[in-house]
Amino acid sequence: MIPPQEASARRREIEDKLKQEEETLSFIRDSLEKSDQLTRNMVSILSSFESRLMKLENSIIPVHKQTENLQRLQENVEKTLSCLDHVISYYHVASDTEKVIREGPTGRLDEYLGSMAKIQKAVEYFQDNSPDSPELNKVKLLFERGKESLESEFRSLMTRHSKVVSPVLILDLISGEEELEIQEELPLEHLPEGVLLDVIRISRWLVEFGHNQDFMNVYYQIRSSQLDRSIKGLKEHFRKNSSASGVPYSPAIPNKRKDTPTKKPIKRPGTVRKAQNLLKQYSQHGLDGKKGGSNLIPLEGRDDMLDVETDAYIHCVSAFVKLAQSEYQLLVEVIPEHHQKKTFDSLIQDALEGLMLEGENIVSAARKAIVRHDFSAVLAIFPILRHLKQTKPEFDQVLQGTAASTKNKLPGLITSMETVGAKALEDFADNIKNDPDKEYNMPKDGTVHELTSNAILFLQQLLDFQETAGAMLASQVLGDTYNIPLDPRETSSSATSYSSEFSRRLLSTYICKVLGNLQLNLLSKSKVYEDPALSAIFLHNNYNYILKALEKSELIQLVAVTQKTAERSYREHIEQQIQTYQRSWLKVTDYITEKNLPVFQPGVKLRDKERQVIKERFKGFNDGLEELCKIQKAWAIPDTEQRDKIRQAQKHIVKETYGAFLHRYGSVPFTKNPEKYIKYHVEQVGDMIDRLFDTSA
């Protein structure tokens, strides 16, 4: 049971909490009432605000729409004004640009092209919007006048600034083609950079806006003339300055060069001069020198002239390739792409036609030379043909894209040259075989015949043109003529393209044919001499000349391709002729040989018959010796080595025979006047033989 005090305290505590809760509850009720009141006030405010917004919206939206309409109207007005200004500007274009167009584009191309752009736009506007307007005719006329001025300016720039390339610069360009530094030093600037830029801009405008292609004709005509004149200038320079010593050269650019060319002159093509120099070397060794030397004199003056013409043509061909390449590089920048090939084709025609015509003239001259058997003149074909073949890949590349007729010109010329060259080779071989035996044309001293030296001279030319000459023979299907089978491995797809080895064998066979014809002709000519000994000397000299000429050049190696024993055969022929010559002395030595001589015992007096026989032997020997020495002294053996060899061999035979005869009968009393019969000592006989083949003795 809870004590009364605690119960009383607990009750008071509960009553206090109850009182607090009642106070809290009362506070909450008051707060709720305030909150409700605030809510009612807020709702009232919002309702009022909504009502005002609705009123505002109803008032503003019409104003906004009106403002938007006003702005649109304003924009339309501004656009209309702008269009009006733009349209009005077209009516002022003619007056604004007339002065610029009248003064022309020279020195003010940017401004001029800007004016032309304005005029073009005005033309387009009036054509689209007012085709009947007088303003259209005005701006059209102005546009046409402006276009004509641009065309005139294009022509003027091309004419004034296109210069002929100097011959010296062309020669440096050709000679420096393998040296990049030289090419960089000598850029081939056809037009100054600023002028070129103007030309390019005008050409592009004329194509794009002027719809004009006439300027392309102007371009190729001007550039074609410069190209043609450059090549002709080189040819003329070559003719004026060429000499027998080498290629013409002058200082190229004074501030970069002294009095020497930029590099060594181009190697001269092998021509007649090389073989003539070889002949001079042989002359120094006694092959055709005096004391029984050749009576042949090389016609160097005419051959020098041929060399100049040949070298000039070869250099003009190289110049055409280089200049045409440069012209195409320039053309690509100026002419629209789809017109470039056609324009280039037209541009090079004059220069190319000139080269081809000159080439055909060379072929024609060669044909005439063949008819009159002037084969040295035909040799000009060989270096030219070789150069054309070497240059053909570059030619083909330069002419790529041109008309077929243009591309076929060089192959046609090559074919013509191969045909006439093959004809010359065949006719030369026939001419060697059929050269008539003219008695008055035979060397009286038995030296080398002109036919021999000419034949060797001609064959030596072929050394520098082995592939060219071989191709000539092969192109005419001469393999059948020489019985050389055509191995499929030696030919390409082209019927006229043969391997180097096949061409070399074909040329070797041809040279052997010429040498064989020459040998037969020499045998025939030797019969003109009544004296068999002189005939033998003649054949000996010619065979020896041929052998030495073959050995001193590369001909012997070329002959050996098909004739391994050629050298031995000539040596045998030479030895055979020496033996034939030596038999001419038998009529001298037969008098003093032991046969038919009287046999006697020492101390026994000779009978009259025996004394008479000895006298006849001495007289026969003396007369024969004197006669032979007198005759043979005028004969010639140009080769010093061979001359000494023949003298020594003959001297040994005669001295030995005469010495034995003199030893046996010199002291025999066969006559009262021994000096009448014993006219010569052994050494005197030797001295007389030493003077054989010596016209100065």
Closest-CA residue to 449 (of 514, 532, 511, 522): 522
Q: Mutual orientation of helices 134-161 and 214-241 as an angle, nearest 10°? A: 10
**Residue 542, pLDDT above cutoff 50:** yes
**Residue 117 to residues 93, 95, 103, Cα–Cα distance (Å):** 10, 15, 16
Q: Which of 115-119, 222-226, 298-302 has the highest mean pLDDT?
A: 222-226
Residue-level pLDDT at 669: 83
Could you read off the pLDDT of 629-666 as tens digits, one per residue? Answer: 999 999 999 999 999 999 999 999 999 999 988 888 88
Could you read off the pLDDT of 269-295 as tens digits, one per residue? Answer: 444 444 444 444 444 444 443 333 333
CA dist 100 and 555 (Å) reads 77
Average pLDDT, the chain: 81
**Residue 493, pLDDT above cutoff 80:** no
244-250 mean pLDDT: 42
**Residue 391 to residues 315, 321, 358, 535, Cα–Cα distance (Å):** 11, 8, 17, 50
Closest-CA residue to 167 (of 92, 281, 274, 249): 249
Determine what percent of the chain is predicted with pLDDT higher than 90: 42
**Residue 2 to residues 12, 14, 17, 690, Cα–Cα distance (Å):** 15, 16, 21, 189
Residue-level pLDDT at 247: 44
Phi and psi angles of residue 403, each rounded to the nearest 5 degrees, phi first: -65, 155
Q: Which of 287-291, 502-506, 594-598 has the highest mean pLDDT?
A: 502-506
HSE of 282, CA atoms in CB hemisphere, 13 A? 28
| Cβ count near 570 (within 10 Å) | 21
Which segments within 67-217 are labelled E, that is strand? none
Residue-level pLDDT at 84: 54
Could you read off the pLDDT of 351-373 as tens digits, one per residue? Answer: 999 999 999 999 999 999 999 98
**Residue 240, pLDDT above cutoff 70:** yes
45-60 mean pLDDT: 83
- CB of 269 closer than 8 Å to CB of 387: yes
What tokens appear for 135 in the block?
């303003």
**Residue 158, pLDDT above cutoff 80:** yes
The residue length of the chain stands at 697
26-42 mean pLDDT: 89
Q: Is the pTM of this model over 0.85?
A: no
**Residue 424 to residues 96, 373, 421, 440, 458, Cα–Cα distance (Å):** 76, 9, 5, 27, 11
SS (H, E, C) 55-92: HHHHHHHHHHHHHHHHHHHHHHHHHHHHHHHHHHHHHH
Helices and strands in the chain: count of H runs, count of E runs: 25, 0
Residue-level pLDDT at 676: 87
**Residue 568, pLDDT above cutoff 50:** yes
**Residue 205, pLDDT above cutoff 50:** yes
Q: Which of 89-93, 158-162, 498-502 has the highest mean pLDDT?
A: 158-162
What tokens appear for 673 in the block?
């006047």
Burial of residue 594 (CB within 10 Å: 0-12, 13-18, 19+) is exposed
418-422 mean pLDDT: 92
Residue-level pLDDT at 495: 34
- CB of 638 closer than 8 Å to CB of 446: no
**Residue 89, pLDDT above cutoff 90:** no
Three-class SS of residue 243? strand
Contacts of 185 (CB under 8 A, 6+ apart): 176, 253, 256, 262
Report the first-to-last Cα separation within the chain, whole angstroms: 193
At 667, the amino acid letter reads: S
Residue-level pLDDT at 304: 58
- Better pLDDT: 421 or 608: 421
Residue-level pLDDT at 456: 93
Range in 53-67, 315-329, 529-543 the model is least confident about: 53-67
Determine what percent of the chain is predicted with pLDDT higher than 70: 81
- CB of 154 closer than 8 Å to CB of 206: yes
HSE of 681, CA atoms in CB hemisphere, 13 A? 3
Burial of residue 285 (CB within 10 Å: 0-12, 13-18, 19+) is middle
Residue-level pLDDT at 185: 42
Residue-level pLDDT at 695: 63
Kind and range of the H or E element at 687? helix 682-690
Residue-level pLDDT at 375: 85
Residue-level pLDDT at 184: 45
CA dist 666 and 657 (Å) reads 13
CA dist 399 and 411 (Å) reads 12
Residue-level pLDDT at 309: 85
Residue 246 β-bridge partners: 243
CA dist 549 and 454 (Å) reads 12
Q: Which residue has the tokens 């702005």?
A: 71
Chain mean position to CA 28: 121
Write the DSSP symbol of residue 591.
G
